[in-house]
Amino acid sequence: MHTLELASVSSGYEGKRVLHDVTFKAQESAIYVILGPNGAGKTTLFRTIAGILEPYSGRVIFDGEDLIRSKEARKRINYLSHYNAVPEEMTVRGALDFYAKIEGGDVGEVLSLLSLDELKDKRISDLSQGQKKRVSIAKVFLTERDLYLLDEPTSNLDPAVSKEIRDILLRLSKDKIVLYSSHNLYEARDVGTNLILVRDGAIGYFGRISDIKSREYRVGIRTTTDITKLVDAKLGDGGYYVMSFSTPEEAGLTLKKLVERGVLVTEMRQLDNPLQDLFEDSSDRGLAAGKGTEAVESI
């Protein structure tokens, strides 16, 4: 078990404050999604925790050690920058060999983990943005650390590789703290169990995603029976019967009632993302619902 604690941290660039009095204590082994619109301060938060930016005030403590003052403590962090900070003139294999010499790790293993075998002799400058990202992630996975700071790790990646990375993170997070930033609220819900919402450089929410209650719980049911006569439902887009409840339990009871009456339900889905309510006033400032992502989520 590890603990990352930020106490009244204010940070920024050349005297201009970006983070204002940020305080939270992460003490579960879990993936914490750092969610916020572009420009909210997510990267600044990572840079401050990683010790790249010295805060104007406040403390960053990991397992009782001050991350700002202790170089030793910082060695327990693996930081994936938002930018692909990989040496362009080297080959993939050459760069990873170089890092492995300094920090250890099995290059062959990360090459296959990130599906980089076929690209290993290519120069990094000749790779696409997504391929460069895979090299950056391979570097992060070379060594195991206790705290992972991953700034938009899946941007520019195709869905299959993104899923692979999330699965690795899920395994890692069993006994580590993983901070994972995103500006996509659907990704946030899929990836993490805990949420740190950053809004205008301050913490808008810190807690479990499962504790976030929707104001309304809308459910879509697919069935061949016309259920509008049995329950309060309306036939909506996509052939779903749509119903509104105030809790998931109410939805479950209605489903039970339908099944008891012999209705064959082939699918039941939650139609809204509970994180949506939280961001309502952020949505016009760039918080994306994600291109190509359905507003219909399985339950």
With beta carbons less than 8 A apart as the criterion, state whether 35 and 197 touch. Answer: yes
With beta carbons less than 8 A apart as the criterion, state whether 157 and 134 touch. Answer: yes
Which of 9, 18, 233, 271 binds ligand ADP (CB under 6 A)? It is 18
Nearer to ligand ADP, 40 or 50 (CB): 40
Nearer to ligand ADP, 84 or 254 (CB): 84
**From the CB of 36, what's the least distance to ligand ADP, in Å?**
5
Count, residues in the chain: 299
With beta carbons less than 8 A apart as the criterion, state whether 33 and 208 touch. Answer: no
Nearer to ligand ADP, 43 or 194 (CB): 43
Nearer to ligand ADP, 200 or 297 (CB): 200
Distance between CA atoms of 237 and 291, rounded to whole angstroms?
A: 19
By CB under 6 A, residue 13 contacts ligand ADP: yes
With beta carbons less than 8 A apart as the criterion, state whether 191 and 182 touch. Answer: yes
**From the CB of 79, what's the least distance to ligand ADP, in Å?**
14
Q: Give the three-class secondary structure for 174.
A: coil
Nearer to ligand ADP, 194 or 282 (CB): 282
**From the CB of 56, what's the least distance to ligand ADP, in Å?**
14
**From the CB of 109, what's the least distance to ligand ADP, in Å?**
30
- Sites for ligand ADP among residues 123-152 (CB under 6 A): none
The strand ranges marked E within the chain are 4-13, 16-26, 30-35, 57-62, 65-66, 77-80, 147-150, 177-182, 194-199, 202-208, 217-223, 234-235, 241-245, 265-270, 297-298
Binding mask 21-60 for ligand ADP (x = CB under 6 A): ---------------x-xxxxxxx----------------
Dihedral sign from CA coordinates of 183, 187, 192, 193 = positive
**From the CB of 296, what's the least distance to ligand ADP, in Å?**
28
Nearer to ligand ADP, 19 or 26 (CB): 19
Q: Which residues bind ligand ADP (CB under 6 A)?
A: 13, 18, 36, 38-44
